């Protein structure tokens, strides 16, 4: 199977449609699939549901899809760095499904592992638990959370071989592996594609069985919050 494509637009060709669900890797601006996000914006696809830890910042990452009003609903655990997100949510333009961070990661992982749902104590007694099934195990109350299965996963890795085996760099791994697992189709952008057999099998973070399409590109690596000391 050919997995390497020449550009983000080529890699997404035939995969995008209105009202689809997309799982996106990244944490803040660390490890985000910025090239694929830009290609989704340029495609004009609308009514998107996006499962991602957060929604970038106003002018970078998933934030550019908010600016173009292509996102209908966010499934997130943190949204505090995006003024446009706040504006759209408070005005009723954007639907938001809040998830505790670990719950969101496990929902993605479960969906990729073929697990329809799981019980967790996180959120019991809060708004998170409203409308969800409650069950007792060993005297403790748990709530049922459903696994996420997305139409498309978009993720960012450091290195890949031509079969799609992935290596992430340090904290840029974050949500990328579970996001990659839960998509019916997974498209990955990487900084470098290396020859088959050159990756140490013990150092592969996500096997190529989860990856359908690959691109290599240049990345901005923007700093989300620059903090400096006075000279």
Per-residue pLDDT of 184-194, as tens digits, reads 999 999 999 99
Question: How many domains does the chain contain in total?
Answer: 1
Whether the CB-CB separation of 143 and 129 falls below 8 Å is answered with: yes
pLDDT tops 90 at residue 26: yes
Backbone Cα Rg of the chain:
18
Question: Tokens 């996963």 appear where?
Answer: 153
pLDDT of residue 7: 97
Half-sphere exposure of 172 (CA within 13 A, CB side): 21
List pLDDT tens digits, range 80-139. Answer: 778 899 999 999 999 999 999 999 999 999 999 999 999 999 999 999 999 999 999 999
Q: How far apart are CA 204 and CA 219, in angstroms?
A: 22
Q: What is the average pLDDT score of the chain?
A: 95
pLDDT tops 90 at residue 33: yes
3-state secondary structure of 151: coil
Average pLDDT, stretch 43-47? 98
Residue 125 in any domain: the answer is no
Residue 46 in any domain: the answer is yes
pLDDT tops 90 at residue 224: no
Residue 139 in any domain: the answer is no
Residue 21 in any domain: the answer is yes
Residue 133 in any domain: the answer is no
| Closest listed residue to residue 112, CA positions, set 3, 211, 213 | 211
Q: What is the CATH number of the domain that holds 163?
A: 3.40.1080.10
Residue 222 in any domain: the answer is no
Q: Is the dihedral of CA 89, 186, 208, 189 positive or negative?
A: negative
Residue 172 in any domain: the answer is yes
Whether the CB-CB separation of 63 and 93 falls below 8 Å is answered with: no
Q: Which residue did the predictor score with more confidence, 24 or 218?
A: 24
Tokens representing 133?
């099934």
Global pTM value: 0.94
Residue 223 in any domain: the answer is no
Tokens representing 143?
């709530």
List pLDDT tens digits, range 161-179. Answer: 999 999 999 999 999 999 9
Range of the domain at 157: 8-116+148-216
pLDDT of residue 200: 97
pLDDT of residue 230: 86
8-state DSSP, 126: S
pLDDT of residue 109: 98
């Amino acid at each position: 199977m050919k997995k390497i494509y020449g550009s983000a637009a080529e890699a997404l060709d035939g995969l995008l449609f209105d009202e689809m669900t997309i799982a996106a890797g990244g944490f803040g601006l660390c490890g985000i699939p910025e090239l694929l996000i830009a290609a989704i914006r340029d495609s004009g696809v609308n009514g998107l549901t996006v499962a991602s830890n957060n929604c970038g910042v106003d002018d970078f990452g998933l934030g550019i899809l908010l600016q173009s009003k292509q996102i209908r609903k966010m499934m997130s655990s943190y949204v505090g760095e995006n003024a446009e997100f706040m504006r759209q949510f408070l005005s009723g333009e954007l639907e938001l499904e809040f998830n505790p961070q670990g719950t969101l990661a496990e929902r993605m992982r479960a969906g990729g592992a073929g697990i329809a749902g799981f019980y967790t104590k996180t959120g019991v007694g809060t708004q998170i638990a409203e409308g969800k099934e409650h069950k007792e195990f060993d005297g403790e109350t748990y709530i049922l959370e459903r696994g996420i299965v997305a139409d498309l996963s978009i993720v960012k890795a450091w290195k890949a071989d031509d079969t799609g085996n992935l290596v992430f760099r340090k904290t840029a791994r974050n949500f990328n592996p579970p996001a990659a697992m839960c998509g019916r189709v997974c498209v990955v952008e990487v900084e470098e594609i290396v020859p088959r057999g050159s990756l140490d099998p013990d150092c592969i973070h996500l096997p190529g069985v989860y990856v359908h399409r690959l691109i290599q590109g240049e990345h901005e690596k923007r700093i989300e919050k620059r903090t400096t000391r006075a000279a």
